[in-house]
Structure 1
Amino acid sequence: MYNLIKIKAYEVGLAFKNGKLIEVLSEGTHWYKWGYKVDLYDLTKPFNPPTNLDILLKNNTLNNMIDLVEVGDNEIVLKYVKNVLTGILPTGQYAYWKNVLDYTLVKVDISSVNPPDINPTMLENKLLINYLRKFNVDNNQKGVLYIDNKFVKILDAGTYYFWRNATVISMSLVDIRLQQTEISGQELLTKDKANIRINFYIRYIVVDIVKAIINTKEAEKQLYMLIQLAIREHICLFTLDELLAKKEVLGKEITDFAKEKVSQFGIELVDGGIRDIILPGDMREIMNQVLIAEKKAQANIIMRREETASTRSLLNTANLMKDNEMLWKLKEMEYVEKIAERIGEISISGSGNIVGQLKEIFTK
């Protein structure tokens, strides 16, 4: 007894009997005996049989129709169809039908660190993303590359890709812009034993990445400690009054003193200075009292100066009036005018000596 089966275009049939491949059926109509099992496969898709592929390929007809691709450990295969990446084949065995689709398979060794010369746009393909490690270095940064925990090189701004494999790859990012550190709340004793707190700032640039990152552990902390010691070393040499008087100059002196020492960390100091000198409560009260006393003394000096000038002016006026009767009369008239402004009504006789009468009235 026979069964009929039709094989369509771009199909192939595999006839099995008792699990053994007996015949490969091409496009067309075929009769096969009862007890045979025919599996149909699409020639445009990969060949994924349910049984062991190596056993099936012992059939010469099938073997001649198949492209066998074996992907080893630390390898992947990039599958291109008409120059378009359509798939990634990880470790394993794959079979494709020959002479059906135009495809290209490219085997890539991913045990190395860097991807081969692949189009950069391909590296962003979502099919490749699970096989790559991506690092970004911004314009204001430098990248420090480590492979297997060993320093390799300094990377400029850009995007970098590495295969995702057993190799340990890491990157540290270093900011190369102008940076600022605050050394706040430093409690110190001045030369005259005044207890003060100082806030200091320092601005710097990382100029040698190897010194700052490779040769120095936590360069920023080292910088902080060095500036802290420089502040303590300088402040104790001055009294409180001297500190307040030369605050700006002292900040520059401390910065210049520390410049050479921090260069060993790969850091260049740009500038720095004392932001605040903070006195304790009792000291502030004393300073306020001193300030008030100084201002009062200045005010008294000004008042005495004005009084002296006024007295000198009166003396000069008196000397002039002593020698000039007309000026004396004018001065009398001036005072009479001022007094008369405050009196509502004055009665005088017409004898002619009006000024004398007014003088007599105001002196009664």
Structure 2
Amino acid sequence: MIKKVHINAYQVGLVFENKELVQVLEAGSFWLFGNKEVFVYEKKQSFVTPIELNILLQNEKLGTLLEVVEVADNELALYFVNGIFKEVMTTGRYAFWKGYVENSFIKADLSKVFITEAVPTALLEHAKVKMFVRRFQVANFEKGLLFVNGVFEKELSAGTYYFWNNATSVEVKSVDVRQQQLEISGQELLTKDKAGLRINFFVRYQITDIFKALTENKDFEKQLYVLMQLALRAFVGGLTLDELLNRKDAIAQEILENVQAKISALGLVVSDAGIRDVILPGDMKEIMNQVLVAEKKAQANSIMRREETASTRSLLNTAKLMEENEMLWKLKEMEYVEKIADKIGEITISGSGNVISQLKEIFVK
């Protein structure tokens, strides 16, 4: 059997006889004799072998035309054509035609955790690649701790982190490092004088040591809550109700000074704290209102007595001056007459006696 085969410039022909590669044809026209089979390949495509690649590569001419990439069990290779990502190659042996396009590869060791290869970040998010990658996000208001196989590795600042997806355990614990507020509400307490009340307390805190907060303490926020709750209970129990109400604004600072060391052990710093509300039960409110009314009445009575004393003292001084000064007496007479004249249409006084005495006799009757 004779047949003619034409191979274009961008093609390669592989001639098989009894499934054995016997000839490699490049550009040109060829006559083939006998029972031979020809496979024509486009150089712009990857080489898909019809039989075992290792057998074909025994042909030296074919070996010079192909670029072979081997990917081990713990590896993958990223395949680029003319600098553009094309495919992910997993374990295996791959062959590509040389010359027609520029083939390039990035091989990665998947047994590692950290991505040390020069893989563009955008490519790690590609649909074909992301299944081989673990992604962790630390927000701009957070800090994170990286643990590899349960062992602390390093502290992470805000950003996106990528690691190869393998059997090694990778964990990122992140926490908000902004200033936060903790409410300790509805605390029912007894004062030193056995007065029952309810207090709403608040604490503003911030995480300063993320390692202490996350690794040396479990549920640091719950621990802070209990710590401040017990400190508040102990402090209020040592004060009478009057002392508590009088020192309400200063209590928070005194409580913080007592528990500062324990707060630092949690990896926190407290910037502010305070009593928001002191709520008395109904009967206690009534008693306090009665005490307040009594105090205000006593204050009013005291003021009235002071005013009466001052008024009496002023009258006494005026009387003494009038007794010692005849002219002042006369002026006082005229003042009284003027005031009476404003109220009464006509007053008749006889003789030249004491006007004040006569007026007294008129009004006393």
What TM-score do you get using the length of structure 2 for normalisation? 0.82
Counterpart residue identity of residue 219, structure 1: F
Inter-partner Cα distance in structure 2 for 1:155 and 1:246:
44
Q: Does 1:287 align with 2:288?
A: yes
Inter-partner Cα distance in structure 2 for 1:176 and 1:141:
5
Counterpart residue identity of residue 99, structure 2: N
Change (3 A) 1:361 1:105: same
Change (3 A) 1:122 1:221: same
Aligned to 1:116: 116
Aligned to 1:266: 267
Inter-partner Cα distance in structure 2 for 1:238 and 1:125:
62
Aligned to 2:247: 246
> SS at 1:341's partner residue?
helix
Q: Does 1:200 align with 2:201?
A: yes
Offset, 1:106:
3.0
Task: Map 1:108-187; keep pairs closer than 5 Å.
Answer: 108-118=108-118, 121=121, 126=126, 128-138=129-139, 140-187=141-188
Q: CA RMSD in A?
A: 3.6
Task: Map 1:61-76; keep pairs closer than 5 Å.
Answer: 61-76=61-76
> SS at 2:12's partner residue?
strand
Offset, 1:145:
1.1
Aligned to 1:225: 226
Deviations 1:79-123 (A, max 9, x none): 344555544322233220123322222322121011115266566
Aligned to 1:189: 190
Aligned to 1:298: 299
Task: Map 1:333-344; keep pairs closer than 5 Å.
Answer: 333-342=334-343
Counterpart residue identity of residue 104, structure 2: T
Equivalent residues, number: 360
Inter-partner Cα distance in structure 1 for 2:348 and 2:243:
73
Counterpart residue identity of residue 300, structure 1: N
Change (3 A) 1:326 1:10: same
Aligned to 1:42: 42
Deviations 1:289-315 (A, max 9, x none): 111211121122112222222222222
Offset, 1:24:
3.7
Counterpart residue identity of residue 43, structure 1: K
Unpaired runs of at least 5, structure 1: none
Deviations 1:3-59 (A, max 9, x none): 555433312234557766565442233455797664432201212246554555455
What TM-score do you get using the length of structure 1 for normalisation? 0.82
Aligned to 1:96: 96
The answer (yes or no) to whether the contact 1:186–1:197 under 8 Å persists in 2 is yes
Change (3 A) 1:342 1:22: farther
Inter-partner Cα distance in structure 2 for 1:68 and 1:264:
59
The answer (yes or no) to whether the contact 1:190–1:236 under 8 Å persists in 2 is yes
Inter-partner Cα distance in structure 2 for 1:229 and 1:125:
49
The answer (yes or no) to whether the contact 1:255–1:273 under 8 Å persists in 2 is no
Counterpart residue identity of residue 42, structure 1: E
The answer (yes or no) to whether the contact 2:108–2:117 under 8 Å persists in 1 is no
Inter-partner Cα distance in structure 2 for 1:263 and 1:352:
96
Higher mean displacement: 271-280 or 20-29: 20-29
Unpaired runs of at least 5, structure 2: none
Change (3 A) 1:360 1:189: closer
Higher mean displacement: 60-69 or 102-111: 60-69
Counterpart residue identity of residue 274, structure 1: I
The answer (yes or no) to whether the contact 2:106–2:117 under 8 Å persists in 1 is no
